[in-house]
Structure 1
Amino acid sequence: MTSAPTSSEGAITLHRDDLPDGLTFNGSVAVDTETMGLNPHRDRLCLVQLSAGDGTAHLVQLRPVSLGGRGYDCPNLKSVLADPGLTKIMHFARFDVAILQHALGITVQPVVCTKIAARLVRTFTDRHGLAALCRDLLGVELSKQQQTSDWGAENLKPEQLAYAASDVLYLHALWAKMDSLLEREDRRALAQACFDFLPARARLDLMGYEDPDIFAHRA
Structure 2
Amino acid sequence: MGLKPQRDRLCLVQLSSGDGNAHLVQIVPPALGGRGADCPNLKAMLADPGTTKLFHFARFDCAALQHNLGVTVAPVICTKVAAKLVRTFTDRHGLKDLCKELLGVELSKQQQSSDWGAPELTAEQMAYAASDVLHLHALWARLEGLLRREDRLELAQACFGFLPTRGALDLLGYAEPDIFAH
State TM-score, norm by structure 1. 0.82
Letter of the aligned partner of 2:7 in structure 1? R
How far does residue 66 in structure 1 lie from its aligned partner after superposition?
1.3
Q: Does 1:120 align with 2:54?
A: no
The one of the two structures with greater contact order (alpha-carbon pairs below 8 A, sep at least 6) is 2
How far does residue 85 in structure 1 lie from its aligned partner after superposition?
0.5
More strand by share: 1
Q: Does 1:84 align with 2:81?
A: no
Q: Which runs of 5+ in 2 are unaligned?
A: none
How far does residue 114 in structure 1 lie from its aligned partner after superposition?
0.3
Say which of 71, 75, 78 aligns to 1:110: 75
- RMSD between superposed Cα atoms in Å: 0.5
How far does residue 178 in structure 1 lie from its aligned partner after superposition?
0.5
Equivalence map 1:23-172=2 (5 Å): 36-172=1-137
Letter of the aligned partner of 1:159 in structure 2? E
Equivalent pairs counted in the alignment come to 182
What is the alpha-carbon distance in structure 1 between the residues aligned to residue 114 and residue 25 of structure 2?
17
How far does residue 199 in structure 1 lie from its aligned partner after superposition?
0.8
Q: Which runs of 5+ in 1 are unaligned?
A: 1-35
Q: Deviations over 1:39-94 (max 9, x none)?
A: 11111000000001111100000101011111101000001111100010100111
Moved over 2 A (4+): none
Identical columns (%):
74
Q: SS at 1:106's partner residue?
A: coil
State TM-score, norm by structure 2. 0.99
Q: Give the equivalent residue in structure 2 for 1:201.
A: 166
